[in-house]
Amino acid sequence: MAERFDLVVVGGGPGGYVAAIRAAQLGKKVVCVDKRETKTFGGTCLNVGCIPSKALLDSSEFFEQAKHKAARHGVILPKVDLDLAAMMKRKDQVVKGNTDGIAYLFKKYGVTPMFGFARLAGPGRVEVKAADGKATTLEAPAVILAMGSESSTLPNLPVDGKHVVTSTEALAFDRVPEHLVVVGGGYIGLEMGSVWLRLGSKVTVVEFLPRILPLTDGEIAGMVQKSLAKQGMTFHLGTKVTGAKVEGGKVIVTAQSEKGDLKLECDKVLVSVGRRPVTQGMGLEEAGVKLDKGKVVVDERFQTTVPGVYAIGDLIDGPMLAHKAMEEGIAVAEMLAGQPAHVNYDAIPSVIYVWPEVASVGKTEEQLKAAGVEYHVGKFPFAASGRAKAMDESEGIVKVLSDAKTDRLLGVHIFGPRASEMIAEAVTTMEFVGTAEDIARIVHAHPTLSEALGEAARAAYFGKPIHA
């Protein structure tokens, strides 16, 4: 006999658990199903992605500061040693605190948790098979598919989980690799590469494209590469990895470029070439859900080609970002409750947690040029920021792009300290269809890093900043 609910959510990641909580807050009887063997919600992000990686990034930054920056502030430390086991333990505690928090929220709002492999058996019908083989059938007038994504791999670089790894294994090394080769110059590879670089690894990035961070503003991406190179990271761009083999406990990576063949000997290879939606074996196409190039096709209300079945997050078009999935989850839950909802895809921020950080929202210069949009550019260097100087963190810039005719804010790109927090002001301004003048005339506290955004906006609107 089937168990009946108002809503079945398949997937307990950021999109799924947020959708479940919001729907429950709106009075729906909700069950959220996840297949994770640890029986924890939060998906890739909380368990083996966003949260543990940021924990390690922050810990490794403390280590870097203690070794190389503290003395400049007059803080003289004795020999600084690394306790990797303690660092990993703290990372695991951070993860547990977050996943326990979701379990608490499910209990608070009455969301029924369920663990097992879910399969869509038709409109409003989901079959769940638990680890012990027990099968349960769930029925509901609405089903939200929120299975997320998994690491993509390369056919000539098979992952063995020990020598050739994904970001999941790279979050849990039991020792610092002498040499880590990162295949892929996207944000995940650069973030994980930064962790191990700070902790003492030699890090080499091999990227097929002629530049790193292909979706980032070109000028900013160039500055990031120079910064990471100065920190010790090595780059081989326009280079194709052709294979890897283990010899005597080492991995020999072979690659090709216009400059010729390349051979790298390393301890670990991190394959970081993007992510792909998790849709296989879920019975989606059999149930009538249309896929296009691996992604689920949805309409403007997130409904798939099967009535009553919705999809959000990494399964559908758009950036594969946790906060994008969360907003879509809230939107679907509110639509199911008869409330108006929206997601503004023109105002979704992205952050890259290297150091200095990178944060952006809106269009890049390359996109505006390709679209033939006339725009103004305003820039302000952190080297001219009093607060950044006081912090000894004066590397980077803020770039503001505004419409040449209307002054409407089109994009903001920040490379600098705490860019991840600074971008919120730009996102808010764009959400309310604001202008460069709006930011320029906001009173920013002095001395703060946020003043740099105000100065860049002045440069875009007035033509010149005040302090540069």
pLDDT in tens, 312-324: 999 999 999 999 9
User: Average pLDDT of 14-41?
Assistant: 97
Same domain, 30 and 69: yes
Residue 370 is assigned to a structural domain of this protein:
yes
- CATH assignment at residue 232: 3.50.50.60
Same domain, 144 and 286: yes
How many C-alpha atoms does 300 have within 13 Å on its Cβ side?
4
**Omega of the bond leading into 155 within 30 degrees of 0 (cis):** no
Residue 186's domain comprises 164-273
Among residues 316, 343, 370, which one ends one of the domains?
343
Which residues are catalytic, by number?
446
Same domain, 176 and 241: yes
Residue 295 is assigned to a structural domain of this protein:
yes
| Residue 194 banded pLDDT, cuts 50, 70, 90 | very high
Residue 157 is assigned to a structural domain of this protein:
no
| Residue 183 banded pLDDT, cuts 50, 70, 90 | very high
**pLDDT on residue 432:** 97
- Give the pLDDT confidence of 369-424 residue by residue, as tens digits: 999 999 999 999 999 999 999 999 999 999 999 999 999 999 999 999 999 999 99
- CATH assignment at residue 367: 3.30.390.30
CA 15 – CA 288 distance, rounded (Å)? 22
Name residue 186's amino acid.
G
Residue 446 is assigned to a structural domain of this protein:
yes
Same domain, 180 and 296: no
Burial category of 257 from C-beta neighbours within 10 Å (exposed 0-12, middle 13-18, buried 19 and up)? middle
Task: Say how many Å lie between the first and final Cα of the chain, rounded.
Answer: 71
**pLDDT on residue 30:** 98
CA 28 – CA 98 distance, rounded (Å)? 24
Same domain, 45 and 135: yes
Same domain, 19 and 142: yes
Same domain, 7 and 140: yes
Among residues 343, 377, 393, which one ends one of the domains?
343
Residue 468 is assigned to a structural domain of this protein:
no
Residue 42 has pLDDT above 90, yes or no: yes
Same domain, 248 and 268: yes
**pLDDT on residue 338:** 97
Residue 53 is assigned to a structural domain of this protein:
yes
Residue 329 is assigned to a structural domain of this protein:
yes
Residue 1 has pLDDT above 80, yes or no: no
Same domain, 353 and 399: yes
User: Average pLDDT of 168-172?
Assistant: 97
Same domain, 138 and 280: yes
Same domain, 104 and 137: yes
Backbone dihedral angles phi then psi of residue 260, each to the nearest 5 degrees: 125, -170
266 near 253, Cβ under 8 Å?
yes
Burial category of 268 from C-beta neighbours within 10 Å (exposed 0-12, middle 13-18, buried 19 and up)? buried
Residue 463 has pLDDT above 90, yes or no: yes
- Give the pLDDT confidence of 255-308 residue by residue, as tens digits: 999 999 999 999 999 999 999 999 999 999 999 999 999 999 999 999 999 999
**pLDDT on residue 112:** 98
Please count the structural domains in the chain. 3
CA 434 – CA 409 distance, rounded (Å)? 6
Among residues 228, 248, 273, which one ends one of the domains?
273
Name residue 150's amino acid.
E
Same domain, 145 and 292: yes
Residue 158 is assigned to a structural domain of this protein:
no
**pLDDT on residue 257:** 95
